Amino acid sequence: MATPTAFNAHIVGIPHIPSITQVNVRTGPALNRKLVFRVDVGTRNLHVSEIQEDAEQRQLNGKTFHWFRLMFPDGRTGWVRDDLISLTGDGTSFGYINILQETLAFNLHRSAVTETPVTENEIDDKKEQDGVGEAMTPEDVRRTEEHRIVEIPTEEEEGPAFAECRMPGGVNMRSGPGTNNTIIGRFVHLHVAEILQSSDSQSGDPLKWIRVRYQSREDGWVRIDFFRLSGKFSRFGVGSEDLYPSPAPQSHWSRDFDPTGSYLNFPHDGWDKAGVTGAPILGGTKGGLVVHTAFCDFCGSQGLSVEQKGLRVGSSQVFVPGWNFGYGHFVIVRYTNDLLPESTRNQLAEIGREGQHLFVMYAHLHNIMVTNGQVLRSNQQIGTMGNSGNSTGTHLHLEVRAGESPTFSHWAALRSGLLSPEILFLR
């Protein structure tokens, strides 16, 4: 009988973001565990000693992350998440298959296992493994380049933050944070750069600007609303990592929140995210309850806009029940306070709304895919992006209102609780 191939992990980082050259290694299976060192992308053939589900139950697209306890070339061990590593070899004793072709760990299915195996060598070293990162000696911090490990100087140090351009055609980079500064380059659509700094605008708009490291430059500034952020960006004051991701993942920025019209020159009670008809619209990370669905009679099953019916956008003929008062086809989802991110709950408390619940309208849909009273799964699709109602092009209108009671009566009753979607969502 052939000897099973060793079950090994390989550090791959995030392949579509080549600027990520190292990944974090932690003392346990969660992002809230101490970060003890970084390892270079490309480090290979790391022995797997243990696998656990994410201790915080963090998920991506409804699937819970797993963490791998790996042995590194210098003898230390630490935990790395499965979206940053690939696997090869016989993983059957850990609940995986015999992996003949190198595969991203997150993409593999893991069956339930009753006990994680431990080899004789691991038993000999168990005392040292259990203490990894907790009591570091001076010798621990002196690692040679051949080990491909870079020590983190302090426990508090943050990882990098990244910005991905979501605007078709790209955006201008400027010499300073505002449109009154000189254009010095162009940031290409879907390219990614590291965030170096943030600032308020120097040109009067209320949006943040970020300075990025892009194409060998470190002096380019871009406006935050044209970008999707990842990594450790909260220290720049541009949102929190625990917020819900964009409910329209295949979208780009269109229009900001401006209920008084001071910035856009007309009132706008939410965010607009533009895209293509039929693109998925998703509910929140922890589920929610559909409290209202509204089919627009004048829009019909084709999801027509007022312009397609020969009416002028914003005219008095539009804000009537047949057009759902301009919103077209829409869905309202309730997210009770216990489902909200911690940073959202903290923001609510800061503005005198501690313990309140959020109600979110997803408007101008093409199709509605949920029903009243339906309990949503994590990131469940609730509809598709459309152009129905008072609309000039395909987009999602996202509107957020807070309420003391979890019981929904009607949208207008929540008007006093109108909030910017940034309290709950990443751009």
When the pLDDT of each residue in the chain is averaged and rounded to a whole number, the result is 84
Contact 24, 67 (CB under 8 A): no
Q: Which residue has the tokens 């669905």?
A: 293
Residue 137 reports pLDDT greater than 70? no
pLDDT (tens digit per residue) in 267-294:
899 999 999 999 999 999 999 999 999 9
Residue 152 reports pLDDT greater than 60? no
| pLDDT of the residue at 385 | 96
Residue type, 265: N
Q: Which residues contact 360 (CB under 8 A, 6 or more apart)?
A: 284, 288, 332, 333, 334, 335, 398, 399, 400, 421, 424
Whole-angstrom Cα distance, residue 257 to residue 272? 8
201 three-state secondary structure: coil
| pLDDT of the residue at 4 | 52
- Model confidence at 77, pLDDT cuts 50, 70, 90, reads confident
CATH 2.30.30.40 fits 158-239, yes or no: yes
Do 8-151 and 158-239 come out as alike in CATH topology?
A: yes
Residue 254 reports pLDDT greater than 70? yes
CATH for 242-427, among 3.30.420.40, 2.70.70.10, 2.30.40.10, 3.20.20.140?
Answer: 2.70.70.10
Contact 68, 52 (CB under 8 A): no
| pLDDT of the residue at 136 | 30
- Model confidence at 405, pLDDT cuts 50, 70, 90, reads very high
- Model confidence at 302, pLDDT cuts 50, 70, 90, reads very high
Q: What are the residue ranges spanned by the domains of the chain? A: 8-151, 158-239, 242-427
Residue 116 reports pLDDT greater than 60? no
Tell whether pTM > 0.95: no
373 three-state secondary structure: coil
Whole-angstrom Cα distance, residue 369 to residue 384? 8
Residue 149 reports pLDDT greater than 60? no
| pLDDT of the residue at 140 | 32
Report the sign of the C-alpha dihedral through residues 231, 233, 239, 240, in that order.
positive
Residue 33 reports pLDDT greater than 70? yes
> Which class is domain 8-151?
mainly beta
CA distances to 13, 34, 137, 192, 215 from 19, in Å: 10, 24, 31, 8, 10
Angle CA(392)–CA(398)–CA(399) in degrees, nearest 5? 115
Q: Which residue has the tokens 């990614």?
A: 192
Residue 20 reports pLDDT greater than 60? yes
| pLDDT of the residue at 264 | 75
Residue 354 reports pLDDT greater than 70? yes
- Model confidence at 128, pLDDT cuts 50, 70, 90, reads very low
| pLDDT of the residue at 61 | 67
